[in-house]
Structure 1
Amino acid sequence: MAELISFRMILDGSASLPAPRLRSEEQLVAMERTLAVMSDAIGTGYDEFSTADVAFHEAVAVASSNSLIEVRNNVVRGAVLALISDKVAARNSTALMRESLHHHGEVLEAIRARDGLAAARISRRNHYDYYAGYVPEDERGSLLAPVDDDEP
């Protein structure tokens, strides 16, 4: 599980590297729309929130202009969620959804600013914060490895 989540962190971070430089204004608007849907879904439930969350990550991958990034992100995200979907659904409270929305907004701001390094760093850190609780404490080192806490 730890290796799979770590791999997802690396993949999502890698999609966030080129997306800020290659994204179009239309793709940026699509990302903004997914955040608006996530925000609205906080009051309606986790399933709608999760669908919008996935749409955000797909929009970032599309903005990377690399179809292989899109495909691998879908496969790995699907594998992670298949393994822990019951735990994720049970754990997702309104507060957790608000926190997730905030983190996605941070990635969007870095993409808007065309700062790929910041977008990738924020993405990896946010994934760690979200998924670390699903991994036994003695296995979290592999999750921390891709997190660049010492970068500005």
Structure 2
Amino acid sequence: MTSSRSSAVDYMMSISHSISAGDNIVHRLGREIVDGRHAPGDRLPDEATMLKRYGVSRTALREAYSKLTAKGMIIARPKVGTSVRPSSDWNMLDADVLTWHLQTRPLAGVAKDLYALRRMLEPGAAAMAATARTEAELQKIEDAYKQMQATSTYEAELVEADLRFHVAILNATHNHFIGAFSSLIHAAMISTFEVSWRGAEVSVFKQERLVQHGDVLEAIRAQDADLARLRMERLLDDSIEDASEVLGQHVKGSR
């Protein structure tokens, strides 16, 4: 579990730009908010206290506040100060916010919520892809699947190929809103893909999961929307069970 969290965080940080003083405070304060040191509704310390605590300039602090405000995490009110907003207001599609959750929260909780999102999104996306995909898009899905087969004994390569498989299906819907989730899937799902494949290894279902991915591919190839939806549902449900093997709790409770 630790390696899953570490590689997921490493990946997320690798896609970030160079960190300025303001960005550094964004990451420090963002993590503190997510881990509860500054709880929703709490008012942040006054500016002088924050400047001393973090050892930055007023400009850097204000830059950090501006970015956290844009992420929906804090709000400034005249004569009141800056307060932490309810977690329901946080932009969970933001790569930084997601990274802070992976760094500070139990992976099981993050996995549960991500699987719930995938369970709502991906079966419908597979159905749409079955009728909307082009031959070039079908080839991308097939190439990713073949890479999964070829790298099944190498966890990192298998996870990357699996990510490409699911992202290719999302992109093949030709729906810009669904396609936009591909960046979330690629950046955020790496940890849960790892634990699900590790669970499949433990429960001796790894080969079966590979076959299930192939079944999804064949339904999309046949342009059978209903079958593609059903096969993706089964794949996700079984993957949730696999993740539970590693995380030690019933992630499937998110269904």
Task: Give the TM-score of the pair, scaled to structure 2.
Answer: 0.48
SS at match of 1:114: coil
Q: Which runs of 5+ in 2 are unaligned?
A: 1-108
Does residue 6 (structure 1) correspond to residue 116 (structure 2)? The answer is yes
1:14-36: CA deviation from partner (whole Å, max 9, x where unpaired)? 21121011111111111111111
Q: Cα 1:37–1:132, aligned 2, differ >3 Å: closer, same or farther?
A: same
Q: Which amino acid aligns with 1:29?
A: Q
1:150 alignment counterpart: none
Does residue 101 (structure 1) correspond to residue 210 (structure 2)? The answer is yes
SS at match of 2:234: helix
Q: Which amino acid aligns with 1:5?
A: Y
Question: Identity percentage over the alignment?
Answer: 26
2:172 alignment counterpart: 63
State which structure, 1 or 2, has the greater radius of gyration over its C-alpha atoms: 2
Q: Which runs of 5+ in 1 are unaligned?
A: 144-152
1:15 alignment counterpart: 125
2:252 alignment counterpart: 140
Q: Which 4+ runs in 1 deviate beyond 4 A?
A: none
1:42-80: CA deviation from partner (whole Å, max 9, x where unpaired)? 13x110001000001111111100121122244256445
Higher relative contact order, structure no. (Cα contacts within 8 Å, ≥ 6 residues apart): 1
Q: Cα 1:109–1:78, aligned 2, differ >3 Å: closer, same or farther?
A: same
Higher helix share: 1
Separation in structure 2 between the aligned mates of residue 42 and residue 133 of structure 1, nearest angstrom: 16
Q: How many residues align?
A: 140
Q: Is the 8 A contact 1:3 1:142 kept in 2?
A: yes
Q: Is the 8 A contact 2:151 2:158 kept in 1?
A: yes
Q: CA RMSD in A?
A: 2.5
Does residue 27 (structure 1) correspond to residue 137 (structure 2)? The answer is yes
1:118-142: CA deviation from partner (whole Å, max 9, x where unpaired)? 11121122111111354534x7354
Q: Is the 8 A contact 1:13 1:120 kept in 2?
A: yes
